[in-house]
Amino acid sequence: MRPILQFGIIFVFLAVGEFVVKCTGITVPSSIIGMLLLALSLKLGIVRLEWVDRISAFLVHNLGFFFVPAGVGLMKCLGLLADQWIPIVGASVGSTVVIIAVTGWVHQLVRRSMSRRQRRSVGI
């Protein structure tokens, strides 16, 4: 499929995500809603992977380029960042520790569950 059509499919899901956010008033970003809807559509077979694989690979390959506007925005707020660096660093470190702990905990739960399931299937 042509890249412009693949991009169109991704854009449609972004637009649907925007519509869902506007209609429901939820605080989740529309791009996240669109991405979840695209993932669900791929899983259910509504959208085939071949329809979006080339443009997705291109976007992932050039992902760093999309962070440039955010970096420029941070530079514009450098004075605010200088005044608030302690809470920013504290929140960053704290959230990193929480994410690592929760990820480890979930990993342990999944491994235990898989181990039990495997033992049941073997008959131990």
User: Tens digit of pLDDT for each residue in 55-73?
Assistant: 999 999 999 888 888 888 8
Instruction: Identify the pLDDT of residue 124.
Output: 61
Say if pTM beats, i.e. exceeds, 0.85. Answer: no
Instruction: Identify the pLDDT of residue 75.
Output: 86
Q: d(Cα 48, Cα 57) in Å, to the nearest integer? A: 15
pLDDT surpasses 90 at 33: yes
Tens-place pLDDT, residues 82-122: 888 899 999 999 999 999 999 999 999 999 999 988 888 87
So where are the chain's domains? 3-90
Q: Taking a C-beta distance cutoff of 8 angstroms, is the pair 55, 4 a contact?
A: no
